[in-house]
Amino acid sequence: MDSFTSYILRQAYEKVNRKGDRLAKIKQAVDWEAFRPIIKAMYRNDTPQGGRPNTDEVLMVKLLVLQQWYGLSDPELEKQALNRLDFQHFLGWPEQPPDYSTVWQYRERLASTGTDSLIWAELQRQLDEKGLRVRKGVAQDASFIEADPGPSGKPRGDGR
């Protein structure tokens, strides 16, 4: 991200942070690097054959945490990760968060290897150790319905 864009985003985030950003507190309370060794065993592209570079393990865990805590679908997670300043700060300001299909494939791979339960157990262990409890919320998509104002100039009711 270029420095001007980064500056503008961080200034906008400071307004959010002044109102209270719970995700920032969780970001600081959890040792996110503890998840790297758990996930690293899942990958096999460090052989001479190589492979596509992995998306950062910690970023992916944080995305799954947000998805679980806020009850988001994969497409909605992608949208919120691009749209919400508190999510972007929590994720470490990624230039381009993974798309929803990458998140889905990642979650499926975690489940098929049993790594998902190790991740959630580690997260719960850390939260318990610090005496923290998570209340799940739901980010809702607001729908706007505009009322028909009726023909202009015509008095409403009986005209009084």
R_g of the chain computed on alpha carbons? 21
How far is the CA of 143 from the CAs of 85, 102, 147, 155, in angstroms? 21, 28, 13, 29
How far apart (Å, rounded) are the C-alpha atoms in residues 149 and 133?
A: 48
Report the pLDDT value the prediction gives residue 159, as an integer from 0 to 100. 57
Please give the structure tokens belonging to residue 7: 């500056």
Coil vs helix vs strand at 127: helix
* pLDDT tens digits in sequence order for the chain, 160 residues long: 567 777 888 888 888 888 888 888 889 999 999 999 998 877 765 666 655 667 888 999 999 999 999 999 999 999 999 999 999 999 998 888 999 999 999 999 999 999 999 999 999 999 999 888 876 654 444 444 455 556 666 666 665 5
How far apart (Å, rounded) are the C-alpha atoms in residues 158 and 160?
A: 6
Please give the structure tokens belonging to residue 89: 């700060």
pTM equals: 0.75
Domain range list for the chain: 3-129
Report the pLDDT value the prediction gives residue 156, as an integer from 0 to 100. 61
Contact 31, 126 (CB under 8 A): yes
